[in-house]
Structures are given as structure tokens and as C-alpha cells.
Amino acid sequence: MSKLGLKEKLREFDQLQSRVRAARVATSNDVLARLLGGEEREGCFVVERRFALHEPHGPIRLAQLFEISGPALGIAAKDETLSDLNLREALFIDTETTGLAGGTGTLAFLVGVGYFADEHFVVRQYFLRQPHEESAMLNAVQQHLAAAQGLVSFNGKSFDIPLLLSRTILNRMRLDFGRLPHLDVLHASRRIWKDRVPDCSLGNLETQILGKTRSDDVPSFLIPQIYFDFVRTGKTAQLPEIFAHNRQDLVTTAALLAYLGNLVQSPFKWQASHEELRKVGRLYREAGELETSIKLFETMLASAEASRNREDLLALGFCYKSQRRDEDARRIWERAIEQFPFHPLPFLELAKYLEHRAKDYVRALEIVRRALRSLTLLEDLHSPIEVRAYKDDLLHREARLMRKQVGFNSSADSPRAPTSVSTPAA
């Protein structure tokens, strides 16, 4: 066969493949449209659902997201860049992938984005019928990013966003995630609920915090195989379960943020538990909002239950100390010593106050020596490294106070020089 004939045959084969691919896509579109209710749009298959803002999701309605101020979001996320974020202009994002390990071989075959429009929370899902549609899908996501003023995700900082960025590099594209402040609800949730819900997966938080349990939800570990079966054999039976799972993840992320943000912003109105008040109080203290933190800890310590909590007492003492309310702090250190006489930290803080504020070196030295005696009991409760750190600090402080005490006594005992007094002229 001549070279010209071979080229013609190859061209015919390519055209045939294109017609077969087009026919498969058309067939796939018809099947998917009936099954999922979507359509081809922007070069890939798109499914869209709307959720009314006043529809309940456990104890929460999504409309309550708009009651959260930007500063409260910044405090919850420990990120000042979120202080100006208007959630109406944020983009919620979640992906379903061909694997959980990440890397260049992992595809995000379904990208769900959530946003607010016409008093609804809209979930739009971009689906890869075939991997070659990836560029079109990423372009569509980029259009959403261009209009957004912030990102909200659940574990997106560690997984979804790095994965999408790697896919854009492979497709010689650029998604501008970096310009947007990003609130990761997983990280904020851990700060409040890690003790109550050690496994802070989205499903666990949905059950434990929002009081909702999903029925007939597809397990995450099965999702990659369901997609591979669709690509290889056209099997579509379980695709609706994946789309429903992804939608529910986005809605739950939004509902969880509404709960969390309102809890941080109005903990008393929200009837927060003692543990939640404690964690919120710490967030305000770390953000430098000491008045709010003091109010939270004072309210907690007014109850008999919380008054026995050493950490709450010490947190309030440190808030007073940061505000230079030295006498209030002193009363807290003394109360903590009375209630918890075997921990050196309140002894240390009281000794600092006596040495540097009251200049009472004698009593400061007495307090340091009491703390050193308490370490013998602390050794059974704490790590040797922690005990050693306390001991080194206390011994150094003891030596300094002894020097100061000797110097002070020497100064007091030394004869004073006569003081000359001028007399008025006659």
C-alpha cells in the first residue's frame, strides 16, 4: 500500500473513531439526562439542583449563614483574611475522585460547586463522561472562581484544592485559587468539637452535631470503582448515588458552617455547652478579643460545674494578665492554688506577680518553694520532660529571688548618708 493510501486509511479510521465517540456521547447524554436530570453544557455534563434557604438541615437553616459576620468567620477559622468575607459571594467546593491518595494519576471526575442565587443554595455538578473532557470541566470551574470572593470546603485545603491545582498544571491551565480566602470547615470544626467527636469526618459531624443520619449513602471507598465501571462498560446504575453523595456533602458543609459560625458569634444565644464555650473562649483569646473571652470564662466559672475546671480558671487568669488587670489575675492564681494545689503553673504565675508587680520577694520565694514541693506529686501525672521544664524554671527563679532578697536586706541594713536640708534665708 502506498504512503498516500495509508494516510487515507488512517484518516478514515480517525473519522470513524470520532463518529463512534460522538455517538457514544450522544447516547451517554440521553441516558444520563434521564437518570440524573442534567444536560451537556460548557463541554461536559452538568447537573444542577436548588435548595431553599429555609429548608431545615437538622437544627439549621442555610439562611442562618447570612447572620454570621466576617469577623466571626475570621475568629472561627483563625484567619484574618476571612474577616471581610460575605458568604453570599463565596463558592463552596467538593470533589469526587478516582482515588484518595492524590497524585498525578488521580482524577477529579465530579466537581460540585455551591453558591447562592435567587434565595437558593445552588449545587452545580460537573461530570467527566470521559477523561478527555477534563479541560472543559476545569474551564467551567474557573468561571465560578472568577466571580467568587472566597472559598469554603471541607478538607479542601489538604485534598480538593491541591488535587485540582495539579490537574490544571497537567492540562496547561491555571486556576486562581490563591487569590481567594479559604475557609476549611474541617479545621474550624476540630477546634470546637475534637474532644466530643474525635473522628471529625463530615459524616460523623453531620450525625453528632447536626443530628442527621444519611440513608442509603454510597460508601466513599466504593465511589472510584463505580466511576471506573461507568467509563469502561457504560454501567450507570449507581451514578445517582454518587451525585447525591456529593450534593449532600456540599449542603452539609454549608449547614455545619452555619452552626459553627453562629456558635462562635453568639455562644450564649446558641446555648453552647461548657466545652463549646471553653473552646470559643480560647478562640477569642487567641484572636486578641479579650473582653469577649473574659465574659465567656467568667460566665462559665460562675457555675458549680465549670468552677472546678483548672484550665478555665487559668485561661481567665491569662486574659486578665494580658489586659494588665494584675489584681484580678492575682485572685485567679490564688484561687487556682487553693483548688488545685499540686500543679505548679498557678504558683509560677503568682510568683511572677509577687516578684515583678508587688516586689514582695519573701512571699514570692515561699510560693516558688511550695511549687517545687508540688512537683514530687506531679511526676506521677505528667511526662518527665514537662516536669523537668517546670523544675528548671522554678530553680532559676528561686536562685534569682534569693539574690534579690539578700540585696534588698543589705540595702535596708546599710547606714544612710545624712540628708542635707536647706534652710530659708533670714
Contact 374, 341 (CB under 8 A): yes
Query: Which SS3 state, helix, strand or coil, does residue 10 take?
Result: helix
Predicted local confidence at residue 413, as pLDDT: 55
Which residue(s) pair with 57 in the sheet?
A: 60
Contact 165, 175 (CB under 8 A): yes
Using alpha carbons, list the distances in angstroms from residue 227 to 35, 36, 97, 112.
15, 15, 9, 15
- Residues of the chain short of pLDDT 50, as ranges, are 12-13, 15-23, 26-27, 416-426
CA–chain centroid gap for 151, Å, is 13
Q: Say if strands 60-61 and 56-57 run parallel, antiparallel, or are unpaired.
A: antiparallel
- Whole-angstrom Cα distance, residue 379 to residue 247? 52
Treating both helix axes as pointing N-terminal to C-terminal, what angle do 239-265 and 3-36 enclose, rounded to 10 degrees?
Answer: 60
Predicted local confidence at residue 14, as pLDDT: 52
- Whole-angstrom Cα distance, residue 283 to residue 267? 12
Phi, psi of 46 (to 5 degrees): -125, 135
Domain 267-330 classified CATH 3.40.50? no
263-266, long-range: CB < 8 A, 24+ apart: 263/192, 264/72, 264/75, 264/76, 264/192, 265/67, 265/68, 265/69, 265/72
Task: Compute the Cα dihedral for 27, 239, 222, 103 and give only its sign.
Answer: positive
- Whole-angstrom Cα distance, residue 344 to residue 337? 9
List, in order, residues 6 or more apart from 424 with CB less than 8 Å away.
Answer: none
What's the fold here for domain 29-265? Nucleotidyltransferase; domain 5 (3.30.420)
Using alpha carbons, list the distances in angstroms from residue 212 to 52, 59, 65.
18, 9, 18
pTM comes to 0.84
Contact 223, 113 (CB under 8 A): no
Give the 3-state DSSP-derived string for 280-337, with helices as H, strands as E and coil as C: HHHHHHHCCCHHHHHHHHHHHHCCHHHHCCHHHHHHHHHHHHHCCCHHHHHHHHHHHH
Predicted local confidence at residue 15, as pLDDT: 47
> 140, 242, 248: which is closest to 202 by C-alpha?
248
List, in order, residues 6 or more apart from 131 with CB less than 8 Å away.
Answer: 107, 109, 231
Each domain of the chain, given as residue ranges in start order, spans 29-265, 267-330, 341-405
Predicted local confidence at residue 11, as pLDDT: 60
